[in-house]
C-alpha cells in the first residue's frame, strides 16, 4: 500500500495520497511510515518548516528505529536545509543589491563625502524590545548588543563617517521607526557662538554684551520669545594628580578637579548660540540679578533661575553628561569641531568639543 502512496506523491496527486494514508491509518498500519509520507506531502507542497518539524518528531518518537525510514528522513531534512540555505542566499544577495543601489543614490547627493554624525534619539524603555531586532538587522549586530545601544535617557552619538553612508542608515532606521538624525560637522562649525559677558538690560528687549572668538565685543538684542532651546551642562576640568597605589608607590592619575558650568541659549533667528559660563560671566556688571550674594556658585544659581523665570515654557536640555560619555569614544571626529569653550586646562580633553557638538545638534534639529 505504501508503494501506491509513493507513486501518487511522485505523480503530484497529493489528495489521492492523503486518502490512501487515511485508510492505512484506520487499518492500523505502521504509524511512523504514515507520518513520514504525510510530512513528505507537506514538503512537496512547499510547507518546509512544518514538514521539517514533523520529520524531526518522527525521529524523536522512534523507540525501535527503522534504519530505512531514518535514512529517508535524514535525506529529507538535508534537502530542506539545502533549500532554505539557497533561499537565504537569494534573499541576502537581493538585499545586498538593494543596499548597494540605495547607497549609490545617497552617494550621488551633494555633500555626500562630508564628515557627519548619526545620532539615535531616546525612546521609552518598553519600546526597546520591539526596536532592538530592527536595529540588529540593519546594523548587522546581535539583539543583545542592539538593546544596549538604543538610548532611553539622552541623545546617543551612534556612528560617524561620510554623509552618504550615514544618510543611508538614517533612512533605514527611520523606516524601522527608530528615531534618529544625521548632521554634518561642517554645519556644527558654521554656527556663531558668542561668549556672554553680561546682560545689560531686559526692558522691552534683552540687551547683552558678548565676545566672539576674536575677543571682539558685540552687542546683541533679542526678545525672550526668540529663544528656542536652553542647554545646561557641567564640563569637567581635569588635572593629573598624585596618588599612592596599593603597594605604596606614587602614581599619576587624571582626576576631575572641578566643573565649568555652562548655559546655552539658542537664538535661531540670528543663527547664534549665546553661551553663558560661570567662568566668564561678569556678575558685577550689567543687570543686577544676584543681589547680596557673594560666591560664584550662588550667583550662577540665581542666573539660571532668572532664565527659568523669563523662559518657563522653553525646552531645557540637561543630559549632556550622558551624551558626552559616549561622544568622547569618537576622538578623531571630535577633533574637527571648534569648541568655543575656552576653559583653561592643564590636561587635554575632548569634552569641550563634545559640548559644542551636543548643543549644536540640538540647535540644528530644533524648530
| Residue pLDDT, tens place only, 344-354 | 877 788 999 99
What integer pLDDT is reported at residue 294 of this predicted model?
84
Nearest to 140 by CA among 105, 169, 180: 169
The mean per-residue pLDDT over the stretch 219-231 comes to: 96
Q: Largest Cα–Cα distance in the chain?
A: 105
Residue 243 has pLDDT above 60, yes or no: no
Confidence of residue 21 (pLDDT cuts 50, 70, 90): confident
CB atoms near residue 196 (< 10 Å): 21
What integer pLDDT is reported at residue 10 of this predicted model?
86
Predicted structure pTM score: 0.77
What integer pLDDT is reported at residue 128 of this predicted model?
94
What percent of the chain has a predicted confidence (pLDDT) above 70? 95
Class of domain 115-187: alpha beta
**Residue 120: left if φ>0, alpha if ψ -120 to 50, beta else—which one?**
beta
What integer pLDDT is reported at residue 30 of this predicted model?
81
Q: Which residues contact 133 (CB under 8 A, 6 or more apart)?
A: 143, 146
Residues 42 and 52 sit within 8 Å (Cβ to Cβ): no
Q: Tell me what the pLDDT averaged over the chain comes to.
A: 90
- What are the Cα distances from residue 336, in Å, to 22, 158, 159, 326? 75, 17, 15, 17
The pLDDT tens digits of the residues spanning 310-352 come to: 999 999 999 999 999 999 999 999 999 999 998 887 778 899 9
What integer pLDDT is reported at residue 319 of this predicted model?
95
Locus of grid cell 565649568? 260
What integer pLDDT is reported at residue 357 of this predicted model?
98
Measured in degrees and rounded to the nearest 5, phi and psi for residue 162 equal -80, 155
> How far, in Å, CA of 265 to CA of 224, rounded?
10
Amino acid at each position: 500500500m505504501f508503494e501506491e502512496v509513493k507513486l501518487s506523491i511522485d505523480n503530484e496527486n497529493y489528495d489521492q495520497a492523503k486518502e490512501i494514508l487515511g485508510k492505512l491509518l484506520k487499518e492500523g498500519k505502521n504509524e511512523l511510515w504514515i507520518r513520514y509520507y504525510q510530512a513528505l506531502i507537506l514538503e512537496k507542497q512547499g510547507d518546509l518548516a512544518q514538514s521539517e518539524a514533523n520529520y524531526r518528531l518522527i525521529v524523536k518518537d522512534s523507540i525501535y528505529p527503522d534504519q530505512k525510514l531514518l535514512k529517508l528522513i535524514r535525506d529529507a531534512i538535508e534537502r530542506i536545509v539545502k533549500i532554505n540555505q539557497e533561499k537565504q542566499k537569494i534573499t541576502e544577495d537581493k538585499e545586498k543589491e538593494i543596499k548597494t543601489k540605495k547607497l549609490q543614490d545617497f552617494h550621488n547627493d551633494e555633500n555626500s563625502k562630508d564628515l557627519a554624525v548619526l545620532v539615535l534619539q531616546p525612546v521609552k524603555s518598553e519600546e526597546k524590545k520591539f526596536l532592538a531586532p530592527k536595529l540588529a538587522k540593519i546594523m548587522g549586530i546581535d539583539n543583545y548588543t542592539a538593546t544596549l545601544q538604543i538610548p532611553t535617557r539622552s541623545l546617543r552619538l551612534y556612528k560617524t563617517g561620510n554623509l552618504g553612508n550615514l544618510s543611508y542608515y538614517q533612512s533605514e532606521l527611520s523606516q524601522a521607526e527608530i528615531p534618529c538624525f544625521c548632521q554634518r560637522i561642517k554645519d556644527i562649525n558654521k554656527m556663531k557662538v558668542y561668549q556672554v559677558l553680561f546682560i545689560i538690560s531686559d526692558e522691552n528687549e534683552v540687551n547683552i554684551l558678548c565676545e566672539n572668538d576674536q575677543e571682539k565685543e558685540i552687542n546683541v538684542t533679542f526678545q525672550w520669545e526668540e529663544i528656542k532651546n536652553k542647554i545646561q551642562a557641567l564640563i569637567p576640568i581635569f588635572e593629573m594628580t598624585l596618588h599612592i597605589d596599593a603597594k605604596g608607590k606614587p602614581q599619576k592619575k587624571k582626576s576631575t578637579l572641578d566643573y565649568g558650568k555652562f548655559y546655552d541659549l539658542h537664538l535661531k533667528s540670528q543663527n547664534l548660540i549665546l553661551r553663558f559660563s560661570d567662568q566668564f560671566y561678569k556678575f558685577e556688571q550689567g543687570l543686577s540679578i544676584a543681589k547680596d550674594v557673594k560666591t560664584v556658585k550662588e550667583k550662577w544659581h540665581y542666573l539660571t533661575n532668572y532664565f527659568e523665570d523669563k523662559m518657563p515654557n522653553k525646552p531645557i536640555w540637561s543630559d549632556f553628561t550622558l551624551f558626552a560619555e559616549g561622544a568622547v569614544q569618537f576622538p578623531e571626529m571630535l577633533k574637527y569641531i571648534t569648541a568655543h569653550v575656552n576653559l583653561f586646562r592643564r590636561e587635554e580633553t575632548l569634552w569641550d568639543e563634545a559640548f559644542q557638538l551636543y548643543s549644536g545638534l540640538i540647535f540644528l534639529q530644533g524648530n
